[in-house]
A and B are shown apart, each in its own frame.
Chain A
Amino acid sequence: MSGKYLVLAILISSPFILMIFHIIFLKTLKFINMNVSPQLILFLIIILFNVPVLLSTYFLTKKIDIIIYSFIVYNCIGYCYFHIFNMSETARRIKILIEIMQKGALSAEDLKLSYNTDLMIKYRLERLIGLKQIIKTNDNKYILSGKILLIGALFMYAWRKILGFNDK
């Protein structure tokens, strides 16, 4: 089988490999009672797996353009996988759907009871601290400490303007 097809096979199987390693790491950390953000663990795994993916691409093909291709495709796949896991943790629409699935039906009042605005924001603040994007100061204020999600936030608002969303 040509090196190119093996590289494609590695890239296509990468989300499943990421998932397996993510599960192993999370279960190991739980076993040793270490509390680390699962999103942060996944992010680190995705970054680290660049090494075996790019090394195997090099040994299979020895071509720089295919290495560049692998880098782009693998990191896009990693990004997509991160998004899927993050959605399972944080997406409001997914949580609403699962709640309706578990209860059969939901009224607007049931939803208001399950969806407390204060709690939703508190969970997010905890997650953002776990992801090292914000910190809580001694006088109980939150300030930015990371740049990655800030870039995401600035992109989000800029892109909404480009697409014509009304944010006023």
Chain B
Amino acid sequence: MSLCLILYTIIFLIIVIAVHILVWRLSFPKKQLLALFLIFYLIPIILLIIFSILNFKADYLSLSDLTASALMYFVLAQAYVQTYSAVQAVAPSLQIIYALFKADKNGLNEDEIIKSFKYENLVQDRLGDLISDGFIYENNKKLYMTFKGKCLAGIFFYYRKIYGLEIGKG
């Protein structure tokens, strides 16, 4: 795994992020998770398969270098996609930090911090995300989980159980 290959992998990721920015600016997707999956995973996997076939004939890269480059790309992509979820949802903890940063050096008391948050932004908008990403649906004014939602909820529920921790406070 040469330094050149590390650089090419990072450059590839930068190109994928540039495509992501372009798509978001030109036509903000309703199903953001699906769009992220297509841009960061599906299309690169297809390109990897095509490259692997060409590489098999021309032998540009050894198998270990190809595997290493693919692993590096996917962990970098995953790191970005996970960061994006906090960016999209405007993580309340980061909002608090930002509010304290903007405040004067005396800081803010609890009431001043709480006043800057609305239930709609904290909860309603996240419900909207869950519905548009296909994890829940509404029927007769009640919210139900889809199969995808049950899988995701189950993973985190049992993950916390392995730790011996209660469900997160949210």
Q: Which residue of A lies closest to B64 (CB)?
A: A4
Given A88-B168, A140-B110, A142-B108: A69 touches B6 (CB 8 Å cut-off) = yes
Least CB separation from A118: chain B residue: B114
For the complex, is A154 an interface residue (Cβ under 8 Å from B)? yes
Contacts of B109 in A (CB 8 A): 140-142
Interface membership of A152, Cβ < 8 A: yes
Which B residues form the contact surface with A (CB < 8 A)?
1-3, 6, 21, 24-25, 28, 64, 67-68, 71-72, 75-76, 78-79, 82-83, 85-98, 100-101, 105-110, 113-114, 117-119, 122-123, 126-127, 129-130, 135-136, 141-145, 149-150, 152-154, 156-157, 159-160, 162-165, 167-170
Please state if B142 and A107 are interface contacts (CB–CB under 8 Å): yes
* Residue from the list B21, B123, B160, B163 in contact with A162, Cβ < 8 A: B21
Given A76-B76, A124-B93, A160-B87: A65 and B118 within 8 A (CB)?
no
Please indicate the chain A residues that have their CB under 8 angstroms from the CB of B105 in the complex: 143
State how many residues of chain A have any CB contact under 8 Å with chain B. 77
Taking CB atoms, residues of chain B closer than 8 Å to A66 are 1
What sequence of 0s and 1s flags, for each residue 83-94 of chain A, a beta carbon within 8 Å of any chain B beta carbon? 110011111111
Q: 19 other contacts beyond A121-B113, A143-B105, A149-B93, with CB at 8 A cut-off? A: A8-B67, A26-B164, A65-B3, A69-B6, A76-B75, A92-B123, A92-B126, A96-B170, A100-B144, A111-B143, A117-B118, A120-B92, A124-B93, A141-B106, A142-B108, A153-B94, A153-B97, A153-B98, A164-B28
One of A89, A149, A159 near B87 (C-beta < 8 A): A159
A105 at the interface (CB under 8 A from B): yes
A118 to B92, CA, bound (A): 12
A-B contact list, 19 entries, CB within 8 Å: A11-B71, A22-B163, A68-B3, A73-B72, A73-B75, A83-B82, A90-B170, A96-B136, A100-B149, A104-B144, A107-B142, A112-B119, A121-B96, A121-B110, A121-B114, A128-B93, A128-B96, A142-B109, A143-B100
B97 touches A150 (CB 8 A): yes
Q: Which residues of A contact B126 (CB under 8 A)?
A: 92-93, 96
Residues in A with CB closer than 8 Å to B142 are: 105-107
**Are A80 and B75 neighbours in the complex by a CB distance under 8 Å?**
yes
Q: Are A105 and B1 in contact (CB under 8 A)?
A: no
Residues of A within 8 A of B119 (CB): 112, 115, 117
A159 vs B150: C-alpha distance when bound (angstroms): 31
